[in-house]
């Protein structure tokens, strides 16, 4: 590989000043080893700070951000989308199906997680979704799925991609069956 198209930071490391991080990334862009840089799991404030530092130092700036965005976790709409819009940063949505939660295969009983699922393998994911609000979203989605004759996965994915701010949606399904759960 002569050049990486998009080099992304997975998350903000508060132990390292953002100007040092951006200086290092800028050197890779200047050397043409990286075309553009991006970040993931940054808050709107962290993204704004990084963009301000890039502008003030003449560094390459983040051109894309990859964050969680789904019907249970729409927080990006209020926090990150305004920064993206104001600075023309592409938003890449991950986990549109909520690690499978929005497909309706889970119940409130954590002791009955289907074997091999994300919540079974990484039980910490449960804390992000298994709430009264989370299950209310699933119940509403299930009702709409029945009414429209479309899978819950299809509707959850469509909900994410309907946003004009979303440039790309990253589905983490391991099989086609995970997406087409009719």
Q: What are phi and psi of 67, to 5 degrees?
A: -135, 160
Res 179: pLDDT: 61
Res 123: pLDDT: 83
Res 111: pLDDT: 85
Q: How would you write 41-59 as a 3-class SS string?
A: CCCHHHHHHHHHHHHHHCC
Residue of 13, 63, 22, 19 lying closest to 42 (CA atoms): 13
DSSP letters along 108-140, please? S-GGGPPTTSHHHH-THHHHHH-SHHHHHHHHH
Q: pLDDT by residue for the chain (182 residues), tens digit each? A: 899 999 999 999 999 999 999 999 999 999 999 999 999 999 999 999 999 999 999 999 999 999 999 999 999 999 999 999 999 999 999 999 999 999 998 999 888 888 888 888 888 888 899 999 999 999 999 999 999 999 999 999 999 999 999 999 998 767 776 666 54
Res 180: pLDDT: 61
Res 39: pLDDT: 98
């Amino acid at each position: 590989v002569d050049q990486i198209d998009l080099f992304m930071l997975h998350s903000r490391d508060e132990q390292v000043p953002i100007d040092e991080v951006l200086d290092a990334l800028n050197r890779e862009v200047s050397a043409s080893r990286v075309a553009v840089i991006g970040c993931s799991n940054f808050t709107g404030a962290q993204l704004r700070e990084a963009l301000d530092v890039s502008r003030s130092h003449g560094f390459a700036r983040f051109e894309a951000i990859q964050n969680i965005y789904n019907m249970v976790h729409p927080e990006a709409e209020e926090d990150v989308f305004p920064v993206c819009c104001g600075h023309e940063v592409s938003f890449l949505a991950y986990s549109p199906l909520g690690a499978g939660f929005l497909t309706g295969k889970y119940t409130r009983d954590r002791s009955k997680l289907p074997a091999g699922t994300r919540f079974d393998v990484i039980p910490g994911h449960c804390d992000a979704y298994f709430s009264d609000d989370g299950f209310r979203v699933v119940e509403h989605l299930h009702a709409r799925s029945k009414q429209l004759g479309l899978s819950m996965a299809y509707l959850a994915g469509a909900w994410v991609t309907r946003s004009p701010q979303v440039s790309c949606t990253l589905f983490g399904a391991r099989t086609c069956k995970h997406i087409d759960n009719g």
